[in-house]
Amino acid sequence: MRIAMIDNSRGWGGAEQVMLMVASHLRERGHEVTVFVREGGALVEPFRRAGHDVCAVPRKGLGVLAGIARTASAIRGGGFDLIHVHRNHDLVVGKIASVAAGLPMLLTQHCLLGNTSSSIINLADRVVAVSGFIGDDMKCRFPVLSGKLQVIHNGIDLTPFKEPKPGFWEKVPAVAGAKPLLGVIGYFYKNQEELIAMMPRVRERLPQAKLVIIGKDDEKQPALEKLAAELGVADAVYFPGKIPYAEIGDAMAGLDFNVSAFRREGCALNVLESLAVGTPFVGYRSGSYPELAIDGETGLLVDNQDQFVDALARLSADPELVASMRKRAREDALVRFDLNRMVEDYLDHYREMTGGKP
């Protein structure tokens, strides 16, 4: 099967990581994938390094029209079987190519929809949401999608996470002796400030606790550092910067708990990765978290800050429960979040949409 994937995002995030994983595993299974991306954007080099056929088109100013025409022309003459769009923002260009080539189009929606219209979102022949949280929001806002929308939870390549190397944080003086060591990973718009705001109360209960905020954001980090200083917990909050993906498993395994105060998460890869290495998750009972972490078995879900602090204290005082959660988290990740399962689910949709092509 030959698939055209479209994502004209400027930056790189979880959606793009999922797109790369799906494209790579499709190729391993004998399928052909060409990705249509923004010229000069963050997707060009990662996909080229991975050996994929990349068509980079202009998406600025008057070049937008040329980019749309080039995409449609390449897909029309490229012998493709299906178009897979990974952002609702690309539905129009995807539909133009779909009509020009006479091909079905699948949309994967990775995050909550922003401002859009029913006529735009309904351009896709089929819609996949990466969580029930995303899917339910879409169907509530656009009931027309109810008959064409299904959920496929993200998956990850579990191989790098099966045997993480111990002691990742032991060589970092800033967090030496931390107990528990809390970690959050992701873009800095995901409510890291609330985690910092909770640290004074966490330290009252757990004086050796420290929070590691993983990621790089030169614009937002100074404000987070200032908040930690104002609250008197600057020594308890550490910013290691961006950690290479090859080391993420080791970093997550070295944490006592993976934490998040974000309430609108679509289907966080970092939660799947932390569970895969056996690190329990603590976060709010909102967004997709109730679909990813099993409350009381692979982590604890809470409704407010008081419960959040209590959950950390409870886990820190119960090593047997934590050990049980670590074991259960690894087992659950193997069953529910394996990349092969996700790719096979997408292939089922591809086959149905193309009349059963292998």
177 and 283: one domain? yes
In a domain, 71, yes or no: yes
Q: What is the pLDDT of residues 19-34, one digit of tens each?
A: 999 999 999 999 999 9
Measured distance CA(259)–CA(255) in Å, rounded? 10
Q: Residue 71: pLDDT above 80?
A: yes
Average pLDDT estimate for 293-313: 98
140 and 164 co-located in one domain = no
Residue 224 sits in the same domain as residue 329: yes
- Where residue 116 falls among pLDDT bands split at 50, 70, 90? confident
Residue 13 lies in domain: 2-155+339-353
pTM for the whole structure: 0.93
**Given this model, what pLDDT does residue 342 score?**
98
Same domain, 220 and 345: no
322 and 343 in a single domain? The answer is no
- Residue 358 in any domain: the answer is no
CB atoms within 10 A of CB 225: 15
Answer yes or no: is pLDDT of 62 > 90: no
Let me know whether 174 and 307 are in one domain. Answer: yes
225 plus 326 within the same structural domain? yes
Rg (CA), the chain: 21
pLDDT given at position 356: 80
Percent of the chain with pLDDT over 90: 94
User: Are residues 278 and 151 part of one domain?
Assistant: no
Pair (167, 81) in one structural domain: no
Distance, CA of 308 to CA of 293 (rounded, Å): 15
Are residue 305 and residue 271 in the same domain, yes or no? yes
Q: Are residues 167 and 287 in the same domain?
A: yes
Q: Are 184 and 195 in contact (CB under 8 A)?
A: yes
What CATH number has the domain bearing residue 49? 3.40.50.2000
Number of folded domains that form the chain: 2
Give the pLDDT band of residue 357 (cuts 50, 70, 90).
confident
* pLDDT tens digits along 168-226: 999 899 998 999 999 999 999 999 999 999 999 999 999 999 999 999 999 999 999 99
Residues 98 and 222 in one domain: no
